[in-house]
Chains A and B, each alone.
Chain A
Amino acid sequence: MSMLKIKSSTLRFLARTILLLFWSAMAVWASEPNGSSSHGTNIFAPSSTPAKSIADLSIFVLVITGIIFVVVFALLFYSVVRFRGRAMDAGREPAQVYGSTQIELAWTIIPILIVVVLFLATARVIHAIQDAPEPVGAVQVTAIGHQYWWEFRYPKLGIVTANELHIPVSDPSHPTPTFLQLLSADTDHSFWVPELGGKTDLIPNHPNRMWMDPQRTGVFLGQCAQYCGMQHAKMLLRVSVDGPEDFAAWVRAQQSLAVEDAAAIAGRRVFETNACMNCHAVAGTPADGRFGPDLTHLMSRATIAAGAAKNTHDNLRLWIQDPSAIKPGSLMPAMKLSDGDLDAVVSYMETLR
């Protein structure tokens, strides 16, 4: 009977130790950064100063909590194995110890010291990130959260775009960080691109501010992190960090008015007479609705519907025909266009480079 009891407890702790080692290995494996130019969403693969400060502090916290875990687990394991009751003990009680002031003092003071150390290390990083001054060369973006898409405005550059953010890479010796002002048009959202920084919420009537200075080019992924309604899951983020020339080229292209293509005149007429322009804007045309994304340079984007689908002819056609086929709950209504009108409008959209 007692043999079974011994087996049970030792088995349990062996199982736990194995689990521990296994999961640690998984965690290490999972934290390896993705090598391609399309980056992943791993908080331990930072590419920007705030993300890096956070990752460094986090490792420090992990090490300390890891040590605490090992010590306490060892005590627990030891007490379970060493002080297990044996059959011959029946009827005899062990020494009835009520406490020990010295021991209890020790295990009060040591945790307090640990808390002080952790807190001081943390406070430094909080101030470094949140109170960082905005340098003169910084790119300014206003991000406005909508159900379920992102509006990006560059007030100093005169650009209005949606869902895909382009920012310049920042050279540590001459930093060109991007500072975002975060607003919301409806409910709460949260801007989270893990490899570029921690998340900050977009809350109506409560402007927020965050910054990032990516030191690697490429596309960084993220998504809305604060539940904002039915399609919260498909409010994705795509941040393209461009080299200086690429960024300048992108800015120039975005600043220009919509391409005027005579072949698309029929589609443009459908667009302007079917209430599309009540929600959407196309710079240089009468369409200036603000409820939905700006479509002036739609074709410069790799995805549509805030990342829910790739920007291909078929997806675009399906989206305009019936948004709920791609993103049920999206606030864009199905316009019930005839096939001819639909094709015309899609052709028009495809001219908006």
Chain B
Amino acid sequence: MSSNAITIPGTQIQTRPWVDELHEWLTTVDHKRLGILYILSALLFLVIGGVEALVMRIQLMHAHNNFVSPEVFNRMFTMHGTTMIFFVAMPVLFGFANYLVPLMIGARDMAFPRLNAFSFWLSFLGGLLLYFSFLGGSGLYGAGSAPDVGWWSYAPLGARAFSPGHSSDYWTLALLVSGFGSIGTAINIIATIVSLRCPGMKISRMPLLVWLNLVMAGMVLIAITPLSAAQIMLLIDRYLGGHFFDTQAGGSAVLWMHFFWIFGHPEVYVLIIPCFAFMSEIIPVFSRKPIFGYPVMVGATVCIAFVSMSVWAHHMFTIGMNSYANSFFTLTTMAVGVPTGIKIFNWIGTMWGGKIQFKTPMLFSIGFLFQFLIAGLTGIMLACSPFDWQLSLSYFVVAHFHYVIVGGILFALFAAFYYWYPKMTGRMLSERLGKWHFWLFLIGFHLTFDVMHIPGVLGMPRRIYTYEPGRGWDTLNLIISIGAFIQAIAILVFVANLIISYFKGARAANDPWDAWTLEWSISSPPPAYNFATVPTVSSRRPLWDLKHPEDPDSRYE
């Protein structure tokens, strides 16, 4: 399947030797291929991270279970969290950004194609580094084993004294390396959007996906870097005898927490904002109306980006900050819920008065709206610091953030897959399998993550490899585990859909969804050069203008 071939009906194209094809993929600097590489590597790590989750869920099915040892369980939750955030969520979102941003702005490629390739391979190398740590466990002498310090590696647990060997180092290096890859991609995205827009595409005319990826990239620059800095400090502590987080030498464990969460909180907005972008492209198309309140959607996102840099210590409500600090972070955390809530209203406003088509992308989008609403509300509960003094570090928090990440981000990603897969591959995904995927996943998701709030309220802390019977947690954990397996089956259906449709799916035309942004004006899949002539646009929906010359958007903007 070469995106360089011009399909002439009736002629036989000589297929190239697979080595050549592989070489081309490994050395590509084309944003479309790199986007697909990002997405494929994310899918690989998604399956691995999912297996890690299933191992944990089996262990927690009942009290005092012996499926895995505490060592293995502690490695599982560390690796699961690290993998999902850094090697699934970030790469897949960068992948979609890579693929779509140049197409949506009418550009030939990203601003720096070679930097693009370098950033991807750095990212992938980070993932390999992280997983290489497993080999050390019972294989190569002295190579260490998988990290077991939790994905935050709180000080002083991450110090040499408490984490001897090299497992923590693999964690640190993997994140440092992939962090530099992320910064490279972010710089690339910003330079592309600022410098390569086609004529007529003023900043106020960019599709929302482009706008939101610009905001996301800006946030990456100032959110990932604090983590990189903290990682360097940790390495200095572990290898050069430094004392950044050495409490015995007067160092501060709390300082690590501040640095980590100054990264950690904006990071979750880095993850959700591209998903807002998907929703802002998909919901209008399947409601047959433009997005309700484009300027406010942009404004709210920029607002979220700024305010989210001031909320980080809501992850630290229990560490003993004084009442003024706790009150401040309660206020800012609740405040960031306002622009976020506004966006939900705008999406509903987009659907209102429309003619909704319930294709699979829209099913997942509606699921996103429902679940993101709930996730946002449990977030408000956690923002209230006294409530958080009970709920923090418990399964309520685990339920909340999985609600955002799985119920929000993953649902939006599924919607994006079903929406743009035709553009990327030239084939439609099966609607039938799509609906099976949706319903199975929905049921499994709610079974697991709705119930998971309850053990938290009943006092079950997180990161425990087993628990005492008789606390009321047993049946709940069993139900949660069953839901996890249902979700796993749904993922298998999804992967089957991706593979089967690639070979047998209905051929996709340029514009199977009757959409309005530039990527739908070229073939599916696009030619290597994207646009034969550089497009010029005069409104936010250039294809709407072309399809409705009697009533163009340019008249109303």
Contact = CB atoms under 8 A, between A and B. Distances in A.
Interface of A: 5, 8-9, 12, 15-16, 19, 23, 26-27, 30-31, 40-44, 51, 53-54, 57-58, 61-62, 65, 68-69, 72-73, 75-76, 79-80, 83-86, 89, 93-100, 103-104, 107-108, 111-112, 115, 118-119, 122-123, 125-127, 129-131, 182, 186-188, 190, 192, 194, 197-201, 203-209, 221-234, 236, 307, 328-329
B410 interface: no
B337 A30 contact: no
B393 A226 contact: yes
Given A54-B386, A76-B348, A206-B254, A236 B358 contact: no
Contacts of A5: 357-358
B296 interface: yes
13 contacts: A9-B358, A23-B450, A41-B458, A54-B389, A61-B381, A96-B290, A98-B294, A118-B384, A126-B326, A127-B323, A190-B393, A203-B254, A233-B467
A122 B388 CA distance: 11
Given A96-B290, A98-B556, 4 more contacts: A42-B457, A61-B380, A85-B357, A208-B320
A204 B156 contact: yes
A186 B294 contact: no
Given A68-B377, A84-B356, A129-B386, A192 B459 contact: yes
A188 B323 contact: no
B427 to A, nearest CB: 22
Interface in B330-369: 330-331, 334-335, 337-338, 341-342, 344-346, 348-349, 351-358, 363, 366, 369
Contacts of A130: 322-323, 326
B358 A223 contact: no
B170 to A, nearest CB: 18
A230 B461 contact: no
Interface residues of B, number: 103
Contacts of B346: 104
Contacts of B178: none
Contacts of B74: 227, 230
Contact of B373 (A72, A108, A204): A72
Interface string B289-331: 1101111100000000000000000000011101100110011
Contact of B338 (A69, A75, A103, A111): A111
B340 to A, nearest CB: 9
A26 B389 CA distance: 23
Interface of B: 69-71, 74, 148-150, 154-157, 162, 247-248, 250-254, 287-290, 292-296, 318-320, 322-323, 326-327, 330-331, 334-335, 337-338, 341-342, 344-346, 348-349, 351-358, 363, 366, 369-370, 373-374, 377-378, 380-381, 384-394, 435, 442, 446, 450-451, 453-454, 457-468, 471-472, 476, 548, 551, 553, 556
Contact of B293 (A79, A89, A104): A104
Nearest to A123: B327
Contacts of A307: 468
A41 B356 contact: no
Given A93-B288, A96-B289, A125-B386, A201 B318 contact: yes
Contacts of B471: 40-41, 221
Contacts of A221: 459, 468, 471
Contacts of B69: 328
Nearest to B323: A130
A205 B252 contact: yes
A107 B345 contact: yes
Contact of A79 (B348, B373, B476): B348
Lowest 4 A-B CB distances belong to which pairs?
Answer: A198-B389, A41-B459, A233-B464, A208-B320
B384 A204 contact: no
A83 B377 CA distance: 26
Contacts of B381: 58, 61-62, 65
Contacts of A103: 349
A236 B467 CA distance: 10
B358 A84 contact: yes
Given A61-B384, A79-B351, A85-B288, A111 B337 contact: yes
A40 B369 CA distance: 36
Contacts of B374: 69
A20 B327 CA distance: 32
A119 B331 contact: yes
A200 B320 CA distance: 7
Contacts of A111: 337-338, 341-342
A16 B389 CA distance: 30
Nearest to A55: B390
B389 A200 contact: yes
B320 A231 contact: no
A337 B162 CA distance: 28
Contact of A30 (B344, B454, B466): B454
A230 B334 contact: no
Contact of B354 (A31, A94, A232): A94
Nearest to A46: B390
Contacts of B71: 230, 328-329
Given A69-B373, A96-B290, A230-B70, A115 B338 contact: yes
A257 B102 CA distance: 78
Given A73-B370, A98-B556, A85 B386 contact: no
Contacts of A98: 290, 292-294, 556
Contacts of B341: 107, 111
Contacts of A61: 380-381, 384, 387
B463 A188 contact: no
A236 B459 CA distance: 12
Given A61-B380, A68-B377, A83-B354, A123 B330 contact: yes
Nearest to B340: A111
Contacts of B149: 227
A51 B63 CA distance: 27
Contacts of B150: 227
